[in-house]
Structures are given as C-alpha cells and as structure tokens.
Amino acid sequence: MLFTSYNFILFLLALFVLYYITPKKYQWLLLLAAGFFFYSFSGWDNVAYITVTIAATYFTAVKIGQLYEKQESYLRENKASLTREEKKAYKEKIKAYQKKYLLLCLFFDLGILAVLKYTNFMISNINSVSRLFNGREISFLDIALPMGISFYTFQAVGYLVDVYRGKYPPEKNIGKFALFVSFFPQLIQGPISRFDDLGKQLYSGHSFDFRNVSFGIERILWGFFKKLVIADRILVGVKTITQDPETYQGIYVLIGMIFYAVQLYADFTGGIDITIGIAEVLGIKLKENFERPFFSKSTAEYWRRWHITMGTWFRDYVFYPVSISNVMMKVSKFSREKFGEKIGKRVPVYLSSIIVWFATGIWHGASWNFVVWGLLNCLVIVVSQEFEPFYAWFHNKFNVRDKFLFRVFQVGRTFLLMSAIRMLDVYRNVRVTFQMYGSLLTKWNIGEVFNGALMKLGLDKSDYIVLVFGIIIMITVSLAQRSGSVREKLYARPDIIRYAAYVGLFVSIIVFGAYGIGYDSNQFIYNQF
Amino acid sequence: MKKAKKPVKLAVTAIITIAILALLQNLLMPKYMTEILEGALITEYYREENRNHDVIFIGDCEVYENFSPVTLWQEYGITSFIRGSAQQLIWHSYYLLEETLKYEKPKVVVFNVLSMKYDKPQKEAYNRMALDGMPLSLTKIKAIQASMMEDEKFITYIFPILRYHSRWSELTSEDFKYLFRKDKITHNGYLMRVDVKPVTTIPQARKLANYEFSDICYEYLDKMTRLCKENGIELVLIKAPTLYPHWYDEWDKQMEDYAEENGLLYINFLKYTDEIGIDYQTDTYDAGLHLNLSGAEKLSRYFGRILKEKFSLPDHRTNEELSRGWAAKGVRYAEEIEKQYAELEEYGYLKAFNSRRDEE
C-alpha cells in the first residue's frame, strides 16, 4: 500500500477516526493492528520476517534484562560480603553472558537482512569473478526484499544494543515492543526512532488535540505536495537522462544531477513529512530527519542535516563501538608507533569512518554503486578534514568566511558535490557514472539547452511551470524555517490566511500532482533501502 | 465564544474547498462539445424533460449512429431514446438499462448484440464515455466496478477531478464556454452525420479460434432478459446492418438460439439490407462501419414498422403535448441537417468529426 495510494488515504482516515474513539488505554493495540494490517499488503512472507525479528529481539532483550536484574539482586544481597574485585568479576561474567545473547541476536537480525538483501549481490560478484576464469555461474535466488527491512532491523538492533548497554530496561510486553518496531508510518522509510524516545509516546494514549491534528494534517499535505507535485513530476526528466547515458551527456549530466537532487529531496523529505504528520495526528512526535540539508556549507554539515536519524544511528551503533573496539585500540597503538603521533592518531578515526561509510553505502543498496557512493562521501569528508589547515590559512588571509557571497559559494559547492555523488543512485553502474562525470567536464554542449532540448526530456512547458513554482515554494518554506517553524508562524496568522493556505495546498496537490493514469505509480525512493 | 467559532470556520472552509474542487472538476472534465462528441451522449438523457419513451435503445455506435428517434416519431409516432455510447460493453448496457428503469418503464428495450464479442473492458476512454455521464447512484457504483480496467481506480469515477486533473495544461476556450451549460449534441441519443463515404472493399473476416460468446456476456444478457421480464418490457435483440466489424454466422446462430430459448425477438438486419433499402454507396459515412443519416432513416423506417406491428406501439402523434415537444425536436433535427450539409459544402468535411475516430 503506497503512501500515495487512495487505499492508504482511506486507511488513514479510518484509523484517525478509530484512534480517537478508542479508549486511550487501548490505542496502542489499534496502532499495532493497523501496522500489521498495513504491512500485510506487502505480502504475508514479509509479515513473517518482521515477526521473527520482533520475537528474536524481544526475547533476547528480556533475557539481557533478566541478567541485569540477576546481577543487581546478587550484588544487593551480597553487598557486604563481596570485595570490589569480586563484584567486578561478577559483573564481567554477567556482561559476557549478555554479550553472547546480544551477538547471537545481532547475528540473527542482521543475518536476515544480509541474506535477503545481499545474497544476490554476492552471487553477482562471485559470478563476475567466475566469468574471468570461465567458471560456472551460480543462479540468483528468487527473493524479494521485505518492505522497510533496513529500517525496522536498525530500529530493533538499536533497541537491543541500548538494553545491552543498560540505557533502559527491556519492554516486558511483546505487543508493545512489536508496535515500536512496526509503527506503520515510519516502517518503510524511517525516521529510525529510539525506544526511549518513541516507546512511551506510543503506549501512553492520546486525547484529540485540534492543534496537533491540524499541524499533522498540514505536514501530511506538505509532504504530498513535495512528493506528487515536484518529485514525481521531475522524475520523468531524471529517468530520460539517466537511463540513456549514451545520448544524454555533457550539460545533460548536470541537468540530470540537479533534477535528481530535487527529486530525491522532495521525495524523501516529502515521505518523511507524511510520516511525521501522520504520527502528529496520532499525538506522537517523531524525530526530525532533515534540517534544510541543501543549505549546508560543507559535506560534514550536510550529513548532520540529511537523514539525521540514520546518521546518528550509524554514529552510535557503528562508529563509536568500532572506534573504541579492542581491535581499533590495537590499530591505534600500532599506527602511532609506526607512523608517529600526528598520522598515527588519524588512522583509527579514518578506518572507523571508512567502515561506517562502507556500511552506510551498502545499507542503502546492494550494489557497488552504493558502496562507491558511501566511500566517496567518506573521501570528501576526510579530504575536507585534511584541508582544515589550508582553510584556516585561507580565511586568515582573506577574511571572507562571513561574507554572503562566500557562504553562497560554499552552499552551492556542497550542493553540487553531494548531487554529483548521488548520481551513483541512478546510473546503471559505477563505470557509467564516472564516464558521465568525465562527459560533464569534457563535453561542452551547453548550447543545446537553448535549442529546445529541455522540452525533449519528457517534460513539457506546463511541467516546467509547475516545477519552477513548486521549487520556489519549497525553497521559500526552507528559508522561512530558518527563523522557526513555518506551521507555528502560520498558526499565529489570522485564521483566514491559515485556512486559505490549507485549501491552496490541498487544491494544488489535487490539480498539479503527478498521479493517476499517465503517471507511474511511484514508490518512495527510500522504500527500497 | 471563540470555541464555538471554530467548527463554523472549519465548516465554511470545507464548503469553500468542496465548491472550489467542484468548480475545478467541471472545468477540467472534457466537454465533448466540438470533438469526440461521443463523450457527451450518456449525460443527455438526464436533461430530457419528458422521460417517458416507448422504446429505449442500448448499445454501442451501432445504435446511436444507425437509428433516428425523430424518424421513428415522424413516421410512426413512436417515442424513443438511444442510450448509446462508444464501444458500450454489455455490462455498461445492462447498468444503463437498470439506471434508465429508475426514470421510466419503456414498452420495448432494443439491445444491439455486437458487444457480446467483448468479455473484458477494452479501453479506459470507453468506460469514461459510458460512465462519467451517469449520476452517482448504486447502479453507477455497480457499473464502475464491473467496468474498470486494471489500472483504473474506483474513486476517480466518483471524483473525476482525480482523473482529469492534469488537463489543466490543455484547457481550451471550449472548457470555459461549457463550464456550466452544455449544448445538446444528439437527437434523442442519435448522433447525426450526413456525409458519405461509400463502401469500396470489405476487410476479410479473420478466422477465430473460438466463436463461443463468453460466460460473462451471457451472464449480463441473462440479467438484461430477467430485468426486462420483471418489468414487463419486451427485449429485442438486434444486429445493426453495418458491414464490419464482421458478424460471424456462428455468433448469429448463438443469438438466434438465445432469442428462441428466451422467447425474444432477434433481428439481424444484415439479412434484410435489400428490404431496408440500404445502399452502401450512399448510406454510410465511413465505408460500412456506420450508417449516415440516409441509412439511419431507412433503417428506422424499417424497424419502426416492425416495432409497431409486433408490439402494438401506439401512435402518439395525436397527443398534442408530445407532438409539440417532438415538433421542436424535428425543427432542431432539420436545422442540423441543413447545418451539416452547409458545412460539407464549405469545408468538404464535418468539422466535429474531423479528428481521428476510433473504430467503433
């Protein structure tokens, strides 16, 4: 059931009504049932996968929690008789048990993800190698990736690690835990929530609050506007250019790059707006996933503002553990001894970064495109860090840091850089993508743009008019957000203005949305990750 | 006080939104006034002042292009209306009949059986032409469900703006001109054409792997027969005398058998072209697919006599009120004939029909 399908809208309307006539105590049960109902549309085998992940994670967390309780009661009971060393030894013993359970469950949860998501990728690589030696090729497995598996697995894993770290006790009620993993608005494309933030909100029950509901609906509409009016309309242009790289080279690569940046932004942020809006109507506040990323002045900043919950997830559950792992400590010690303090201290940080970015890339998709995409991001960040002394010298010398034009340059540069790297999403392989980078720099055909070429990309004049207005509105809203929530600002205005904005937005989606016959039924881009 | 105001504001906003959307829907829906006139047929029935007819025709272009209710009136005093639409499939016909019976109980229903050959929806456009003009009712909902193609969405028939929204970039002055009021296109459902294109060659009929009409078509034909019997209406099955799409003997036999089993009258007019007096050099506007005015009037004269004799239909020409109404229709009919001949004279073709026409 696509977010943009009529069935989903009907489902939402029914759920909203049911939710607020259900006693608060039972609202979580309704959400759980709704989640599984929603998910069942993607196939019952997918329901089985998520159920298995939920069950495995739940029981492991409970077991880890019981070990904490056991440790606590043992230490309490034997407080007087145990020495400090004995207490420490006992804690280590318990931790070792917990670690076994943790690793077993991580292996299981991530194993499902790995098998379903990466088996065919592995087979394709083995076959490539095999072909070099004229060896036999392995057949691909007929497996479909369950919807949102990357997101719900990460959410479950984050919860398990937090319980292991003693951040909070495990949830005792399996139904409630199942709701945390399967909360339907965020099931398919995030944001990736944390249990200590979302759990309580899901279970506490909510009364109807006009402001929450109207804010939520406003956000949903805004998401639909971005998705249907902008993303799905510009998509045709993106496809035309990127699916025929033999024809569309040079300036078209740049056009495709900008088009895809707009599409991805409108699609992904639109999807997240819908998700957050739905949760808001239900009285639940999800974490923001974006903070105007295209206004970032550097790649590092961009990644702090784009897909924030994924970034922080990788930071907390991959980067930190890897950075402070025993192996990395040894690497650090070794490299300091071998290469000296200056270079040696960088080695573990960069190594951890490479691991994180490799994981981020492969998480986005089982292909070399995404691996290279992740590593290119890493490269840009590392190079930027290495250039810090140069930047410092430059700013000392020229003092342009706060100049408006320089900031514009920084924003433009980051946008183009990130958009260029993102082209790995859409070209069919790494080689073609790099060929297109080459063509962009070497093929000078800008004149074609002024000879009506833009009208041959599958978009006509009316499409461009809608896109230009849509993008202007999107940028204006982003600019207005810098000084606070646009919805709050709108709320403070006279009702007539607010209601006119609602009606205008709704009517624009109905009339200018790229949906229905003649348009593909487009899944959100991040659903596939 | 402030609290009390909120529901009012919301209600006003909702009403304004609905009004805007309704207006936009009217604007964005195709008007079918100057081209693809077939799209305007179904809705015209609901604008009729006197919905009380002796005969109702249902079916595809083989009814709305081949029979002239004005001729039936002028020759026999029979009142009739054609509820035809382009490539009207049998489920469209059935539900249109069910819908019509809510407004009137005709004495005779005439169904053209060519659509028995289609057991599934063919094209969204034909669904739209058959269904968009029907007012919302349970019958319409059933008709939509029976007709939808795989990629169609039910809700777009209830709120057509969801289907036609992207027409905003194709709006023409016609869309604004006919925003609130449309012209009458047909003459009691008859879509007139006076131009002539003689038959030169008739395409060879392809052999079929299976000549049996499908179960679903029989199912609807049964429903139609039952519905007519329940309402005391005589159902007449016809096959119009158009030369192609080819009407196979095997199909004809099935219809004959069906009519016999169910005590219905079945007339394959292809067998009586000489008696009717059809001359395929002068009586068709597209080389044998459809009859033109001359052919339609000949066929109506012939069929009117059968209707009158078989079903003892009264001659209403003595009814003053009816005569007044039909006289006005006759004037409009004559004016259009004149207009079309003048257009032919001036341009050599009929402007409204100059755009590419589908096969049926």
Of B9, B154, B155, the CB nearest to A499: B9
Q: What is the pLDDT of residue A525?
A: 57
Q: How many Å apart are CA A218 and CA A475, to the nearest integer?
A: 17
CB contact (8 A) between residue A516 and residue B165: yes
- Here the tokens at position B229 are 């019997």
* Residue spans of alpha helices (H) in B231-360: 249-262, 273-276, 293-311, 320-347
List CB contacts (< 8 A) between A499 and chain B.
9, 13
Q: What is the pLDDT of residue A301?
A: 92
Distances (CA, A) of A187 to A234, A263, A349: 26, 21, 32
Query: If residue A435 lies in a helix (H) or strand (E), which one and from where to where?
Result: helix A430-442
List CB contacts (< 8 A) between B124 and chain A.
517
Distance of CA A488 to the CA centre of its chain: 26
Q: State phi, psi for B265 to the nearest 5 degrees.
A: -90, 130
Judged by a CB distance cut-off of 8 A, whether residue B161 touches chain A is yes
Q: What is the pLDDT of residue B3?
A: 52
Question: In angstroms, what separates the C-alpha of A215 from chain B's closest C-alpha?
Answer: 14
Q: What is the pLDDT of residue B159?
A: 94
Determine the average pLDDT of the residues in A69-75.
Answer: 90
- Here the tokens at position A256 are 């495709």
Q: Is the pLDDT of residue A522 over 80?
A: no
List CB contacts (< 8 A) between A2 and chain B.
none
Chain B, window 169-188: residues with a beta carbon less than 8 angstroms from a chain A beta carbon:
169
Which chain B residue has the Cα nearest residue A521? B151
Which chain B residue has the Cα nearest residue A497? B13
CB contact (8 A) between residue B17 and residue A503: yes
Q: Which residues on adjacent β-strands are paired with residue B110?
A: B57, B236
pLDDT in tens, A416-435: 999 999 999 899 999 999 99
Judged by a CB distance cut-off of 8 A, whether residue B166 touches chain A is yes
Q: What is the pLDDT of residue B357?
A: 41
Determine the average pLDDT of the residues in A163-188.
Answer: 93
Q: How far apart are the first and last CA of chain B?
A: 63
Chain B, window 24-43: residues with a beta carbon less than 8 angstroms from a chain A beta carbon:
24, 28
Determine the average pLDDT of the residues in A250-257.
Answer: 93
Q: What is the pLDDT of residue A387?
A: 87
Which chain B residue has the Cα nearest residue A214? B10
Question: In angstroms, what separates the C-alpha of B155 from chain A's closest C-alpha?
Answer: 8
Q: How many Å apart are CA A69 and CA A71, to the nearest integer?
A: 5
The label of the residue with tokens 């105590």 reads: A25
- Residues near B119 by Cβ (< 8 Å), separated by ≥ 6? B213, B214, B216, B217
pLDDT digit of tens for each residue in chain B (360 aa)?
A: 455 578 888 899 899 999 999 999 999 999 998 888 889 999 999 998 888 899 999 999 999 999 999 999 999 999 999 999 999 999 999 999 999 999 999 999 999 999 999 999 988 999 999 999 999 999 999 999 999 998 889 999 999 999 999 899 889 998 999 999 889 999 999 999 999 999 888 788 888 889 999 999 999 999 999 999 999 999 999 999 988 889 999 999 999 999 999 999 999 999 999 999 999 999 999 888 899 999 999 999 999 999 999 999 999 999 999 999 999 999 999 999 999 999 888 888 888 787 544 444
Q: State phi, psi for A4 to the nearest 5 degrees.
A: -95, 10
Q: What is the pLDDT of residue A495?
A: 86
Which chain A residue has the Cα nearest residue B170? A462
Question: In angstroms, what separates the C-alpha of A325 from chain B's closest C-alpha?
Answer: 54
Q: What is the pLDDT of residue B1?
A: 42
Q: What is the pLDDT of residue A294?
A: 93
Give which of B12, B151, B154, B165 to mutate to test A binding, by max A Cβ within 10 Å: B165
3-state secondary structure B70-89: HHHHHHHCCCEEEEECCCCC
Of B9, B124, B161, the CB nearest to A510: B161
Of B16, B152, B162, the CB nearest to A503: B16
Give which of A511, A512, A517, A522 to mutate to test B binding, by max B Cβ within 10 Å: A511
The answer to whether B245 and B205 have CB atoms below 8 angstroms apart is: no
Cis peptide before A389 (omega within 30 of 0): no
Higher pLDDT, A316 or A80: A316
Determine the average pLDDT of the residues in A137-166.
Answer: 90
Give which of B13, B128, B148 to mutate to test A binding, by max A Cβ within 10 Å: B13
List CB contacts (< 8 A) between A513 and chain B.
165
Judged by a CB distance cut-off of 8 A, whether residue B16 touches chain A is yes
Q: What is the pLDDT of residue A134?
A: 76
Q: How many Å apart are CA B142 and CA A417, to the nearest integer?
A: 55
pLDDT confidence tier of residue A527, bands split at 50, 70 and 90: low
What topology does CATH give the domain B31-204+213-353?
A: Rossmann fold (3.40.50)
List CB contacts (< 8 A) between B161 and chain A.
510-511
Question: In angstroms, what separates the C-alpha of B351 from chain A's closest C-alpha?
Answer: 28
Question: In angstroms, what separates the C-alpha of A211 from chain B's closest C-alpha?
Answer: 12
Residue A184's nearest CA partner among A367, A303, A47, A291 is A47
Of A495, A510, A519, the CB nearest to B21: A510
Backbone CA torsion sign across B345, B346, B350, B355: positive
Q: State phi, psi for B175 to the nearest 5 degrees.
A: -65, -35
The answer to whether A199 and A483 have CB atoms below 8 angstroms apart is: no
Give residue A306's identity as a one-letter amino acid code.
Answer: W
Higher pLDDT, A520 or B340: B340
Classify A484 as helix, strand or coil: coil
Question: In angstroms, what separates the C-alpha of B13 from chain A's closest C-alpha?
Answer: 7
Interface residues of chain A, partner chain B, Cβ below 8 Å: 6, 210, 460-462, 495, 499, 502-503, 506-507, 510-519
Higher pLDDT, A527 or A312: A312
The 8-class DSSP code of residue B237 comes to E
pLDDT confidence tier of residue A187, bands split at 50, 70 and 90: confident
CB contact (8 A) between residue A511 and residue B168: yes
The answer to whether B92 and B317 have CB atoms below 8 angstroms apart is: no
pLDDT confidence tier of residue A386, bands split at 50, 70 and 90: confident
Of A462, A495, A516, the CB nearest to B163: A516
Q: How many Å apart are CA B190 and CA B83, to the nearest integer?
A: 9
Backbone CA torsion sign across B196, B201, B205, B206: negative
Question: In angstroms, what separates the C-alpha of B153 from chain A's closest C-alpha?
Answer: 8
Question: In angstroms, what separates the C-alpha of B169 from chain A's closest C-alpha?
Answer: 6
CB contact (8 A) between residue A517 and residue B169: no
Length of chain B: 360
Q: Is the pLDDT of residue A82 over 90?
A: no
Establish how many alpha carbons lie within 13 A of residue A232's alpha carbon, considering only the half-sphere containing its beta carbon.
Answer: 23
CB contact (8 A) between residue B162 and residue A518: no
Q: What is the pLDDT of residue A207?
A: 93
CB contact (8 A) between residue A516 and residue B24: no
Which chain A residue has the Cα nearest residue B20? A507
Q: Is the pLDDT of residue A357 over 60?
A: yes
List CB contacts (< 8 A) between A503 and chain B.
13, 16-17, 20
List CB contacts (< 8 A) between A506 and chain B.
17
3-state secondary structure B128-164: HHHHCCCCCCHHHHHHHHHHCCCCCCCHHHHCCHHHH
Q: What is the pLDDT of residue B359?
A: 41
Q: State phi, psi for B354 to the nearest 5 degrees.
A: -75, -25
What is the β-pairing status of strands B80-84 and B234-239? unpaired
Judged by a CB distance cut-off of 8 A, whether residue B312 touches chain A is no
Q: State phi, psi for B78 to the nearest 5 degrees.
A: -90, 130
Determine the average pLDDT of the residues in A485-499.
Answer: 88
Of B24, B151, B152, the CB nearest to A511: B24
The answer to whether B148 and B95 have CB atoms below 8 angstroms apart is: no
Question: In angstroms, what separates the C-alpha of A432 from chain B's closest C-alpha?
Answer: 34
